[in-house]
Amino acid sequence: MRVFELDFYTNNIKYVGVVSVLISLIAWTVDLSGVVYECPYCRAQRTVIGLLGVIFLLPGFRHWLLRYIGSVLAFFGAFVAASQNFMGWKKISAGTFTFNEAIYVDPFILSGCALFIILGQAWLLLLGKEAQDHDTEE
């Protein structure tokens, strides 16, 4: 299946950007409507996902400056997501971990998902078409 190949995403990067922005907007809507509690970790992660999506939508998103800004954002978002996720692992080690009653808003699961999304976005930003073209020339 093509969805498991990197070039599927690099060739459709604008769609990845749109999906990223939609994920961010939906998450912000759920937050601001009061469905979930106000979480600074979650807010940082959803903002980073959306901003990286916006970068993908820009015409010159492969410019070194946008790659640098995107890398800084991705590092920040990944750090926040990993920190939040690690708090769940600490609770697991202490024997006090429980999933949220509403599993779809569990911070342990959502921070893990955010970590995967943000790192995937960083890879797409840094290992896009130019990197693939360079690898095939050698």
Report how many domains make up the chain: 1
pLDDT of residue 104: 80
pLDDT of residue 131: 54
Which residues form the domain of 104?
2-137
pLDDT of residue 19: 97
pLDDT of residue 101: 84
pLDDT of residue 133: 53
pLDDT of residue 35: 84
CA distance 47 to 36: 16
pLDDT of residue 138: 47
pLDDT of residue 16: 96
Helix, strand and coil percent figures for the chain, each rounded to 5: 80, 0, 20
* Environment class of 112 (CB within 10 Å of its CB; exposed 0-12, middle 13-18, buried 19+): middle
pTM: 0.88
CA distance 1 to 92: 36
Counting runs of H as helices and runs of E as strands, what totals does the chain give? 6, 0
Task: Output phi, psi for 58, to 5 deg.
Answer: -75, 145
pLDDT of residue 36: 82
Q: Any idea which residue has 């024997």 for tokens?
A: 95
**Residue ranges of the chain with per-residue pLDDT less than 50:** 132, 134-136, 138
